[in-house]
Amino acid sequence: MSLRVDTNTGLIAPARQVPSPNCDARPDGAQADLIVIHGISLPPGEFGGPWIDALFTNTLDPVAHPYFQAIHPLRVSSHLLIRRDGELVQYVPLHRRAWHAGASSFCGRERCNDFSIGIELEGSDDQPYAPTQYQVLGAVIAALRSAYPSLAAGQIAGHSDIAPGRKTDPGPCFNWPHLYALLDAEQKTRLV
């Protein structure tokens, strides 16, 4: 998959653009040096449908499903979403702060939204992610690392790593070794 990151606009192509109002400027001098992997399904355990877009754009209908009653007031977002079929969706420009991490800490640094890029995978803790999602995720991370020097040597963490006890995603079914193998292969390809 060939991806292009425009560092002036913070947009990645060919992602489908669904702008979220749930973002703001990063603090002065802050740059992203962490990628946070999330898992999301709405309603829980169900895939497809318009609900993730609706949540991130504050248009979630609280009567469409009982679970939505509790979450529709939330003001959250992520930079990117990779759907089960591999579709890439962008909600927040990469240079802006998305509201994906919540109360969080990584290597002693609080407020991970300030210095991270959030990538949601449509999935759940107890089901394997689709092979195409790993392929797209690997391509996205490679494109981000190529476009932003601060991410080149940066780390990758799960939401559960930065908010332990509060969050469990991307869950035990996420195949970290497979992702790292894809990234190693991508790096070797770029060096040739």
Predicted confidence (pLDDT) per residue in 38-80, tens digit: 999 999 999 999 999 999 999 999 999 999 999 999 999 999 9
Question: Out of 46, 87, 110, 120, which one is annotated catalytic?
Answer: 120
Q: What is the pLDDT of residues 106-120, one digit of tens each?
A: 999 999 999 999 999
User: Which pair of structure tokens corresponds to residue 90?
Assistant: 């962008």
User: Which pair of structure tokens corresponds to residue 62?
Assistant: 């609280």
Give the mean model confidence (pLDDT) for residues 139-162: 94
Q: What is the pLDDT of residues 94-147, one digit of tens each?
A: 999 999 999 999 999 999 999 999 999 999 999 999 999 999 999 999 999 999
Rounded Cα gap, residues 107 and 124, in angstroms: 26
CA count, 13 A, side-chain hemisphere, 140? 31
pLDDT for residue 190: 62
Rounded Cα gap, residues 8 and 69, in angstroms: 38
Q: Evaluate if residue 1 carries a pLDDT over 80.
A: no
Strand, coil or helix: what is 177? helix
pLDDT for residue 188: 65
For the entire predicted model, the pTM comes to: 0.96
Tokens 């790292």 locate to 180
Domains observed in the chain = 10-191 (3.40.80.10)
Q: Is 87 a catalytic residue?
A: no
